[in-house]
Structure 1
Amino acid sequence: MKLWLKKLSVVLITFMTVGMYIPPTYLDAEAEAANKEVVSSNDRLPETDTPLPDIGEIEETQLDSLDDEDDDVSDHYIHMVTNQAKEQTVTKLGPKIVNKVENDVMTTILPHIEEVIVGLFEEAGQEKFQFYEITEDLTPGYGEKIFNVYDHQAKQDVAMFHVRREIRPKEGYWFNFHYHLSNDDFEEHYNIGDIYWDKNTPPKWMSQ
C-alpha cells in the first residue's frame, strides 16, 4: 500500500472513533437548567443585616430566668415560715395577754423574730433551709417554749424560741423573749426583747 493511502486510512479511522462522538443534547439542557435553578435560588435569598442571636447570650438569659424563679420561691417560703412563727407567738401568749400588750408585740417582738429567722435561713442557704419548718406543739400554762425551727432532713432542732416571765423588784412582771441555737448546744441566751406586763400576776399562756 502506498504511503499516502496509509495516512488517509489512519485519519479516517481516527475521525470515525473520536471525532464523530457528539455529546447528547439532553446533557447540555440539564446543565443549563441546573445553572438557572442555582441563580434563581440565589436571587430569592433575602439580604439582611440583622445578626443571628448568640447562643451564649440565650443560655445566660435562660439561666438568669431560672435564678429569678428560684429566688421567688425562696422568698415565698421564707415569708411563709416567718408568718407561721408570728402566728405561733401570738397563739402562745393567748388573747388575755395579747389584748393588753398587742402593740409592743407587733412593733418590737415579731419584727425581731422575723429578722432572726431570715438570718438563720440565709446562713443555711437554700439547699438546707428548704427542709426547715416551724414546730406547732405549743405548751400552755407556764412553759417557756414558743416554737422551734426544725431541720426535717437532719432530724434535729436548729433554734428554739422562748418567752419567760420575770419579776423585777419594784417594777412587776416582764415577758422576756429570747432564743437558743444548736451550734452551742442551746446554752447561750440570745435576747429578742422585753415587754412589760404589770405588777399583778399575768394569766397563764394561751389563756382565753
Structure 2
Amino acid sequence: MKIIWKKIFVVLVSTLTFGLVTPSYAYDLDHSTIDKGKKPDSEETNKIDQSSDIICRDTPISKLVRQCNEMSYYKFGDRIGPVIKDEFQSIIFPKIEEVLYTLTEELGTDKVLQLKISEQPGKGTSEKMFHVIDTETNADLVRFHVRRDHPPGEGYWFNFHYHTYKDNFENHYDLGSIYWDTNTPPNWMSATKDNIFH
C-alpha cells in the first residue's frame, strides 16, 4: 500500500472512532520491511508512535481531554501546580479522562463536537475546576471540582470529585485526594512572586 493511502487510512479510522482506535501499525511503515517479515527498527517505531500521537491529539475527544488538563493547571496556579503535578497526572487525571470518555460514549459520537469546557475556573478557595457543557443547550453535563479538606490533626488535602447532570448535581463522585501539607495552601490561581510582574 502506498504511503499516502496508509496515511489516509489511519486518519479515517482515527477520525471515525474519535481516536479510540489508531491503526499505528499501518502508518509510515516501510513497505519493504513488511514484505521481508522483519520487525521495524526503533527509528521506524518512534515514527509510528509520534504519528499516532499527532492523530490522536486531533480528535474531538482528545482535544476536550487536553483542554481539561490545561484548565486544571490554570486553576492550580504557579504555587500549587508544581507541587501536586506528579500525583495529579498519575492518580487523578486518568480518572477524569475515564469520566470524559464514558460521558461521550453515553451521549453518542455525534454529540462530542457539541461539548466544550467552561472558560474560567474558580479563584481563591472556590471548588470549581471546570464544567463540561453542551453548547447546543448551554447546560452543564459534568462539573469537576476540587475541595480543600482539613481533617483534625492531618494537615490539608485536596479532594477531587465531580457532579453529574444525571442526579441534578447532588452527589459527589470521588476521584481521589492529594495531600498538601500542614500549612494552609495558597489560594487557587496564585502566582509565585516571580510571575506577579509578567
Tell me, yes or no, whether TM beats 0.5: yes
Deviation at 1:86, TM superposition (A): 0.7
**Distance (Å, rounded) in 1 between the aligned partners of 2:133 and 2:79:** 29
Pairing partner for 2:70 from 87, 96, 111: 87
SS of the equivalent of 1:180 reads strand
Structure 1 segments, 4+ long, off by >3 Å, are 65-69, 72-75
**Distance (Å, rounded) in 1 between the aligned partners of 2:19 and 2:153:** 50
**Distance (Å, rounded) in 2 between the aligned partners of 1:68 and 1:199:** 47
TM-score, normalized by length of structure 1? 0.65
Alignment of 1:122-201 (within 5 A): 122-201=105-184
Indicate conservation of the 8 Å contact 2:163/2:169, yes or no.
Answer: yes
| Structure 2 letter corresponding to 1:71 | T
Query: Match of 1:71?
Result: 17
Between structures 1 and 2, the one with greater helix share: 1
SS of the equivalent of 1:142 reads coil
**Distance (Å, rounded) in 2 between the aligned partners of 1:194 and 1:113:** 13
| Cα gap change, 1:69 to 1:112, in 2 (>3 Å) | closer
**Distance (Å, rounded) in 2 between the aligned partners of 1:156 and 1:170:** 40
CA root-mean-square deviation: 1.9
| Cα gap change, 1:124 to 1:198, in 2 (>3 Å) | same
**1:73-126 deviations in Å (ceiling 9; x for gaps):** 786111110010011111111111122222111111111111111111111111
Unpaired segments ≥5 residues, structure 1: 1-64
TM-score, normalized by length of structure 2? 0.68
SS of the equivalent of 2:17 reads helix
**Distance (Å, rounded) in 2 between the aligned partners of 1:104 and 1:72:** 27
**1:121-159 deviations in Å (ceiling 9; x for gaps):** 111111222211111122211110000000011221101
SS of the equivalent of 1:143 reads coil
| Structure 1 letter corresponding to 2:84 | V
- Bigger CA radius of gyration: 1
| Structure 1 letter corresponding to 2:17 | D
Alignment of 1:36-51 (within 5 A): none
Unpaired segments ≥5 residues, structure 2: 1-10, 21-55, 192-198
**Distance (Å, rounded) in 2 between the aligned partners of 1:68 and 1:206:** 36
**Distance (Å, rounded) in 2 between the aligned partners of 1:138 and 1:69:** 30
**Distance (Å, rounded) in 1 between the aligned partners of 2:159 and 2:116:** 23
